[in-house]
Amino acid sequence: MSQQRTERGRGHYIGGEWTDGNGAEQGPASDRTESDGERTFESENPATGKPLATFQRGTAADVDAALAAAESAAEAWRSLSYIDRAEYLWDIYHELRDRHDELGEIVSKECGKEISEGKADVTEAWHMVEWAAGNARHPHGDVVPSEIGSKDAYMRRKPRGVVGCITPWNFPVAIPFWHMAIALVEGNTVVWKPAEQTPWCGQIIAEMFEESGIPDGVFNMVQGFGDAGAAIADDERVDTVLFTGSAEVGHEIAGKVGGEPGKLAACEMGGKNGIVITEEADLDIAVHAAIMSSFKTTGQRCVSSERLIVHEDVYDEFKARFVDIAEDIAVGDPLAEDTFMGPAIEADHVEKIRRHNDLAREEGANVLVDRFELADEEIPDGSEDGAATAADGERRASYANGHWVGPFVYEIDYESDLRCLNEECFGPHVALIEYSGDIEDAVEIHNDTPYGLAGAIISEDYRQLNYFRDRAEIGLAYANLPCIGAEVQLPFGGVKKSGNGYPSAREAIEAVTERTAWTMNNSREIEMAQGLSADIKTTED
């Protein structure tokens, strides 16, 4: 990405052009006037609270222009072969790999994930592009036997048309490619709204599509907030909505789209995920898996675990070991190699986490670890050797304005109607629940939540593992692992309040294509199935 392009492209990418909105093509930054910034917003570094860059805020008019471009390009795009469509993605695949370290650092700067997670986000993106583009050369459709020997019957898929993609901030590179790579290879055109917290990552992805030479209007990006996303989801020109984000927004989208004949929404939403740790657990694995599930990405994954359901026989030992590590989890600069947890995404989210912590106390929690407000010495100071210099003091002050939170761990007696055990926090907020009895009792507690996204069981008893596998009400189940770490070739989604679709891998194809059952007669006579007579009878017979 050239510096000139970085300065030029801070708006929307519509119909093959960069625009500030309302159809105005962008020129160099020096040519724009102050009036160009009247509808702008800033990307912020969560570690410092300081702005990274300024972007144009999309309006309904910008969405309209993007949808018009996507609709206009649809017929020519779908007329290409799978393989020709996939060719445009291979350049992006190589760029993601070549710029792995650079883009991983940008992800960490913009959404606060520690650097190994920032890089993994980019790796996951190229894995998804590789899967989607490679799938173009794999067999498509199914040959289906017919009752009639002279008939051929098979299934064909065809693109739905225009796909609207709305993606979250916590995986700002990976999840857009979950949605868009598959939609594009399957022959759809795309209008995408990145999360307003991570527009810089959106900018870079749009530049990659531009540089790939993809035909104008096939890929379109509109930056902005929820109103732009709603304009995409509500428009009758959009045939499928792919959404990953909060349950509240996802349910609103699914409710509206569900009432429109012929339109689909595949929504992957939040979770109140649990890990069952039975009396047969290996506690080394149990503690490691629970720490990873609870605190990676500062608990800001839809699959993060906020409930640890632990058998009474191992409860005390597990609690002591889990608490000991939670008290020392390294919270710090996301770009530092020795950081485990970075900051929360924004100030409003810090307050949301505070409210959930307070709610747990109000409902009777016994707080075991409270690092919500980190001590001054825990805030990153930006210095490499600890020497007190003026420059370090300035950097320390900048980090003090970051959105820092630490682990909050509590134990509470299980009650079905406790809000703290049913409402998603989306932060490092973890409940320990002691249970007695058999695996059936643990799974009953595990399932007692309105969500159903991810979960794990830690046990050395294969019967317990299999019971959890078959009875846990979740879309993503793990055994002797953290309940995070999806791979792109597997479905990703949940049940109940967690979603109504799987916007990744093979299952996403279901959402962005329509199936046609095609039957062809190879005979000069017509013969029907089920013994239906094909004889035409008239009154003269």
- The string of DSSP codes covering 67-129 is HHHHHHHHHHHHHS-HHHHHHHHHHHHHHHHHTHHHHHHHHHHHH---HHHHHHHHHHHHHHH
State the catalytic residue, choosing from 268, 306, 423, 434: 268
- The pLDDT score that the predictor gives to residue 3 is 41
pLDDT (0 to 100) of residue 30: 33
- Three-state secondary structure of 289-310: HHHHHHHHHHHCCCCCEEEEEE
Q: What is the pTM assigned to this prediction?
A: 0.91
Residue holding tokens 């979740």? Answer: 474
pLDDT of amino acid 397:
57
Q: Produce one character per residue of 260-281: b if its CB has 16 or more CB atoms within 10 Å, e if not.
A: eeebbbbbbbbbbbbbbbbbbb
Q: 61 vs 56, 190, 191, 526, CA distance in Å? A: 13, 17, 13, 54
The per-residue pLDDT for 27 is 43
pLDDT at residue 274, as a whole number: 98
Cβ(184)–Cβ(155) below 8 Å: no
Whether 268 is catalytic:
yes
User: Is the sign of the CA dihedral 441, 447, 449, 453 positive or negative?
Assistant: positive
CB 94 within 8 A of CB 125: no
CB proximity list for 24: less than 8 A, separation 6 or greater: none
Q: According to the model, what pLDDT value does residue 384 have?
A: 42
- Which tokens hold the place of 355? 């409210």
The catalytic position among 111, 201, 267, 302 is: 302
Rounded CA-CA distance 166/24 in Å is 24
Q: Residue 428: which of 107, 112, 108, 103 has the closest Cα?
A: 112
Task: Note down pLDDT in tens along the chain; length 541 residues.
Answer: 444 444 444 899 999 999 998 644 444 333 333 344 468 999 999 999 999 999 999 999 999 999 999 999 999 999 999 999 999 999 999 999 999 999 999 999 999 999 999 999 999 999 999 999 999 999 888 899 999 999 999 999 999 999 999 999 999 999 999 999 999 999 999 999 999 999 999 999 999 999 999 999 999 999 999 999 999 999 999 999 999 998 889 889 988 887 888 899 999 889 999 999 999 999 999 999 999 999 999 999 999 999 999 999 999 999 999 999 999 999 999 999 999 999 999 999 999 999 999 999 999 999 999 999 998 888 887 544 444 444 444 455 589 899 999 999 999 999 999 999 999 999 999 999 999 999 999 999 999 999 999 999 999 999 999 999 999 999 999 999 999 988 888 888 899 999 876 667 777 898 999 999 999 999 999 999 999 999 999 988 6
Token representation of residue 492: 């990703």
